Amino acid sequence: MNTMQSALIKKDLRGITANKQLLVAMISVPIVLTVVVPSIFIMLIHFMPNDFSDFDAMLRMLPIDIQLDNMNTAIISLLLNNIMPVFFIIIPIMAASIMAASSFVGEKEKRTLETLLYCPLSLKQIFRAKILSSFIMSELVSILSFTIMTLVTQIEIFLTTGSLLLPNISWLVVLLLLSPAVSLIAITLIVRGSARAQTMEESQQRSALLVLPVIFLVAGQFMGIILINIWILLGLGALLALIAWILMNGSFQKISYESMLR
């Protein structure tokens, strides 16, 4: 990264934080998903009468190796370590999509892209800088969400059960492999679509399709059909990272000024 590219990245990041509407969208969804949802869940478990016949059946299917002495703790652990990680696939997709749409299609829409193309950076360097700024943004949002979620849920868990229930090792895979990989895929798809998409809304709608498989994953989790263990996660992460890499290289091959300005 040279100084010109970092100037571009800084401008993109500042551009998104200066836009109230986008910033609110970028922050409110993660907060609802990672703070409000688990809080409601934890409270429900705490205040509901102990009648968990449905959960009981589901819990027995889970490969939870730790002996859980308490049903409440088991359910919270299921929530924290098996359901919440899925949100950390949705969040980076969302953050990356908003950022990439505004930094690629937004520039085209506002006719600032052409000006940018007249700078002494090659098209590939401009692309790299823009992809990186979207990536930085989505990682920032993910890590921030994770930190806030952990803080809030740990406090709630401590208050309701009297002990902590720390996130397990699968989080590491999710945060370091899975969520970066899917955010790169989302960015690349937006960038590729940006040659065709004329407005920001259009390209954001396209990337919304990405969320569909994730929704199946969530549904699967809830029904106990797909039980994600660390090896499946690792495999999935590696696969997604490979797809991201292939997609990104492919889009580098095709770009030209002409296709950008169309």
Partner 1 sequence: MKAIVAERLTKIYSGEKKALDNASFELSQGEVFGFLGPNGAGKTTAVKLLNGMISPSEGSCHVFGIDPSSSPEKVHAISGVVTEHAQMYGNLTGQENLVFYGTLFGIPKEESLKRALALLERLDLTVAKDKKLTTYSTGMRQRLSLARAMIHTPKILFLDEPTSGLDPESAQSVNNMIKELASDKGTTVFLCTHQLRYAQEVCSSYGLIDDGTLLAVGSLDALRCRIFSGLKVHIKSNRFPEGISFRKTEGQWAEINVQTEDEIPPIVKRIVDAGGNVYEVMANRLSLEEIYFSLIEKRKEQKEVR
Residue with Cβ nearer partner 1 (123 or 238): 123
Distance CA 188, CA 182 (A): 10
Return all residues near 250 (Cβ < 8 A) that are at least 6 apart: none
The reply on whether position 196 binds partner 1 by CB under 8 A is: no
Q: Is 63 helix (H, G, I), strand (E, B) or coil?
A: coil
The reply on whether position 24 binds partner 1 by CB under 8 A is: no
DSSP letters along 146-161, please?
HHHHHHHHHHHHHHHH
Task: Pick from 60, 118, 212, 254 the residue near partner 1 by CB under 8 A.
Answer: 118
Residue with Cβ nearer partner 1 (137 or 210): 137
The reply on whether position 253 binds partner 1 by CB under 8 A is: no
Distance CA 240, CA 181 (A): 6
The reply on whether position 116 binds partner 1 by CB under 8 A is: yes
The reply on whether position 199 binds partner 1 by CB under 8 A is: no
Q: How many residues bind partner 1 (CB under 8 A)?
A: 26
Cβ atoms of residues 191 and 131 within 8 Å: yes
Point out which span in 11-19, 27-35, 161-169, 210-218 binds partner 1 (CB under 8 A).
11-19
DSSP letters along 176-229, please?
IIIHHHHHHHHHHHHHHHHTT--SHHHHHHHHHTTHHHHHHHHHHHHHTSS---
Residue with Cβ nearer partner 1 (56 or 114): 114
Task: Pick from 1, 7, 23, 57 the residue near partner 1 by CB under 8 A.
Answer: 7
Residue with Cβ nearer partner 1 (82 or 194): 194
Residue with Cβ nearer partner 1 (5 or 160): 5
The reply on whether position 119 binds partner 1 by CB under 8 A is: yes
The reply on whether position 63 binds partner 1 by CB under 8 A is: no
Q: Is 118 helix (H, G, I), strand (E, B) or coil?
A: coil
Chain-centroid distance, C-alpha 124: 25
Interface residues with partner 1 (CB under 8 A) are 2-4, 7-8, 11, 15, 18-19, 110-112, 114-123, 125, 257-258, 261
